[in-house]
Amino acid sequence: MDNSNDRRAGGTAESTPDRLLDGLRTELDRVDARLLDDVRDRLRICARIAHLKQRHAIPMLQPGRMQVVHDRAETYAHRNAMSPEFLHSLYALLIAEACRVEDLIIDGTGSASAELRETRT
Tell me what pLDDT residue 49 has.
95
Domain residues for the domain of 82 are: 16-114
CB contact set of 48 (below 8 Å; sequence gap of 6+): none
CATH number for the domain harbouring residue 86: 1.20.59.10
Report the phi/psi class of residue 50: left, alpha or beta, with left for phi > 0 and alpha for psi in -120 to 50: alpha
Instruction: Please state, in angstroms and rounded to a whole number, the distance separating the CA atoms of residues 75 and 22.
Output: 33
**11 located within any domain:** no
More confident residue, 51 or 108: 51
State the pLDDT at residue 10. Answer: 52
- If one counts every other C-beta atom within 10 angstroms of the C-beta of residue 101, the result is 21
Judge whether 51 lies within some domain: yes
- The pLDDT value given to residue 120: 41
Specify if 4 maps to a domain: no
- pLDDT score, position 114: 57
Residue 119: the pLDDT is 43
pLDDT higher than 50, residue 103: yes
> What average pLDDT does the structure give for the chain?
86
| Closest to 121 (Cα-Cα) out of 42, 40, 49 | 40
Q: Domain for residue 68, yes or no?
A: yes
How many domains does the structure of the chain reveal? 1
- pLDDT, tens digit, 9 for 90 and up, residues 28-51: 999 999 999 999 999 999 999 999
Q: Is residue 39 part of a domain?
A: yes
pLDDT for the residue 32: 99
Residue 50 lies in a domain: yes
Alpha carbon separation from 21 to 8, 18, 27, 52 (Å, rounded):
15, 5, 10, 46
pLDDT in tens, 59-100: 988 889 999 999 999 999 999 999 999 999 999 999 999 999
